[in-house]
Chains A and B, each alone.
Chain A
Amino acid sequence: MEEMILKLKQEIIEVLNLEDVQPSDIDNDAPLFGEGLGLDSIDALELIVLMEKNYGIKLQDPAKGKEIFKSVNVMADYIQKNRTK
C-alpha cells in the first residue's frame, strides 16, 4: 500500500503539474480540495482522467469524484478495490 500511495502521489503531482510539491508534502489524510492541496473542479476532472488511464476505473458522475478524492488514502483505497489494470 505504501508503495502504491507514493506512486499515486507522483502521478497526481505530474498530471496536475504541481511543480513545487514533493510527495512528502502531501499528507495521506489531508483533503485534496479546498484546504490542503487547494485543488478545484478542473483538477477533479483531471484526476478522473488519471483514474481511467492508469487504473482502468471509469467514473461517469463527477459528483462521485468528490467522495473518492477526499484524501490520498481514500483515493488509494478506492483504486485498490476497483482497479481493472
Chain B
Amino acid sequence: MYQTIDILSVKQISIQQPLCEEWMETPLTYTGDFVRAIDPDFKQFISAGEARRLGKLLKRALATSLSALNEGGIQNPDAIVTGTGFGSIENTELFLDALVREGEQMLKPTQFMQSTHNTASSLIGINTKSHGYNSTYSQKGLSFDSALYDAWLQFRLGKIRNALVGAHDEMSPVFSGFVSKAGHVKNGEICSEAAVSALLEADSGKPAMCTLKSVQIMNMPTAQELADVMSKISVDAIITGRSGNPENDSWYSFLGSDVPQCSYKPLFGVNFSSSAIGFYTAACCLKAGRIPSVMNAGNGAVPCRSILLVNVVEGRHYSFTVLEAVCGK
C-alpha cells in the first residue's frame, strides 16, 4: 500500500512563539495557572470578511492548517481529521451564559454555530474546497490521538494518499475555572491553549520532518497489556505527557527508566489538545536529530532517530505513537 507515511509539516499556535520553533532554543517561561496562546497576525491567512464570524479556535485552526498545507505543497488534502476536547468554548460559553442569565430569547446564531465541535474540520474543508474524508473527535486529552489513529487507518486502507490532522482547544477565563474545579488541570500545571495542524502524505518523495510508524490506543489496560505493548517497541527516546503534577506523572511509571524520557507540558502547558503539541515537538526533534535540552529539564540534548510518544489521559486512556527519522538522513 505504501512504504512510509511522511510527516511533511506541523504548525502550532500555543503559549510559545506561534508558527515557529523558537521554543527549541529560547522558550518563553510562565508563572500563573492560566495562560492564553500567542496569536500570529491572522490577516495573512484569513480575510477580514471571513474572520469576523470566527472565534479564536477557528482562526487558529485555519492559520495552522493553511500554513501546514502551504509548507507541504498540498492544496486539497484527501482527508481532514481534527480533535478537540471542548470545541469553541468561548462562543459556547457566550451562548450558554446568555441563555442562563437572559433567558431563551434573542440568542445569537453565530455563537451557536460555533458550539459544535466539527466547525474546525468543516471550516478547513470549506476554505480549501476539500470534499474528501472529514471528521472530528472529542475524547478529552485523547482527541488528537483519536484523529491521528483514524487518519492512520485511512492510509492503511488505501483510501487516502494524504491527510491534514490536527487538534485545537481554546480556553475562556470562566471555563478555565471550571476545568480546574473538575480536576482536568491540577496544581502546578499551566492551563493553556493549543492549535496544531500536521500534514501527512504516503510516500511523498518530498523533504519530510519524520515518518509515522504506528498509533495504538487503549482503555484501562492491565499492567501485563502495557508490558506487552512496550516489549514490541524499540526507540531512542520517549516523549511523555508528564507535567509536574504528581498524580499525572505517576501514570507514566510503567515506562521504567531504560530509555531517556522528556516532556513538552512544562513548556506548553496543559489542555485537551496537549498531545498534539507532543506530536509536534516529536516531529521537530526528529527533524533536528535531537531532543533539545529545554525538553530534558535543562540536562542537555538527547540525540534520537526514533521517538515513542506516550499519552495517558486521566490514568485510563493510553496512546502510543511511534515516529522515526527520515531514512538515510
Contacts and interface: CB of A to CB of B under 8 A. Distances in A.
Contact of A52 (B105, B109, B113): B105
Interface string B39-59: 000000000110111000000
Contacts of A18: 52
B109 A19 contact: no
Interface stretch (A27-35, A41-49, A63-71): A41-49
B108 A19 contact: no
Given A42-B53, A42-B113, A19 B48 contact: yes
Contacts of B49: 38
Contacts of B51: 19
A49 B53 contact: no
A17 B53 contact: yes
B107 interface: yes
A61 interface: no
Contacts of A25: none
Interface in A9-62: 16-20, 38, 42, 45-46, 49, 52-53
A42 B110 contact: yes
Contacts of B109: 42, 45-46, 49
Contacts of A19: 48, 51-52
Nearest to A16: B52
A17 B49 CA distance: 9
B327 interface: no
A49 B52 contact: no
A82 B179 CA distance: 46
A46 B108 contact: yes
B1 interface: no
B107 A49 contact: yes
Contacts of A38: 49
A49 B108 contact: yes
A22 B147 CA distance: 42
A18 B48 CA distance: 8
B113 A20 contact: no
Contact of A53 (B48, B106, B110, B113): B106
A18 B110 CA distance: 14
B59 to A, nearest CB: 12
A38 B172 CA distance: 31
Contacts of A52: 105-106
B130 to A, nearest CB: 21
B106 A17 contact: no
A8 B297 CA distance: 57
Given A49-B107, A52-B106, 5 more contacts: A17-B52, A19-B52, A46-B108, A49-B106, A49-B109
Interface of B: 48-49, 51-53, 105-110, 113
Closest 6 pairs between A and B when the two form their complex, measured CB to CB: A17-B52, A45-B109, A53-B106, A20-B48, A49-B106, A52-B106
8 contacts: A19-B51, A42-B109, A42-B113, A49-B107, A49-B109, A52-B105, A52-B106, A53-B106
